[in-house]
Amino acid sequence: MTDRDEDDDLGGLMSRAQSGDGEAYRRLLVRTDAWLRRFFLGKVPAGQVDDVVQDTLLSLHDRRSSYDPSRSFLPWLAAIARYRWIDHLRRRYRRSETPLENHDLPQPSSEGPVIARMSLQRLLERLPRRQAEAIVLVRIQGLSVREAAHRCGQSEAAIKVNVHRGISRMSGMIEISEGSD
């Protein structure tokens, strides 16, 4: 069976399954399971293939109403499989992180944060007062836009604009100072 024949056959099964044909849906899942196992071969360690295939079949089930019978089935299925594969990799690598031993880390220096705070303070001093105030309240102190607007008597829209313009202006100041070095 060619890929095109398989695509047509699977697409037909999906179309009938969308119409409520339970037997077509069962056959689709069996055939799709086999296709997914081939797809994940070499992408996922053998002991993890079952999990990724099951995740993909669940996603197919959840998204079955989004399949358009006038389009090819296999590219639609491959897109779902690719997303499940990426999710699997993210989970796997997130779990495999190991902390560094403390004795190998450089000793922290208080110099860096002090210099950064002084540089930030110099940049803020060069901004119009309302822009600096909005940046400090929203980005540094972590207040919501609504809280910052209430605290300094500006509208929420003005806070958003002042934060955006202030940060843009600060970025320009940094670029200019780096260009002169």
Q: Model confidence over 29-86: pLDDT tens digits?
A: 999 999 999 999 888 888 889 999 999 999 999 998 898 989 898 899 999 999 999 8
The CATH architecture to which 3-95 belongs is Orthogonal Bundle (1.10)
- Of the candidates 38, 33, 34, 76, the one whose C-alpha atom is nearest the C-alpha of residue 55 is 33
What are the sequence ranges of the domains in the chain?
Answer: 3-95, 116-179
Q: Model confidence over 2-31: pLDDT tens digits?
A: 667 787 888 899 999 999 999 999 999 999
Question: CA 150 from chain center: how many Å?
Answer: 33
CATH level 3 topology of 116-179: Arc Repressor Mutant, subunit A (1.10.10)
Residues 6+ apart with CB under 8 A from 68: 76
CA max distance for the chain = 72
Angle between helices 73-95 and 22-40 in degrees, nearest 10: 50
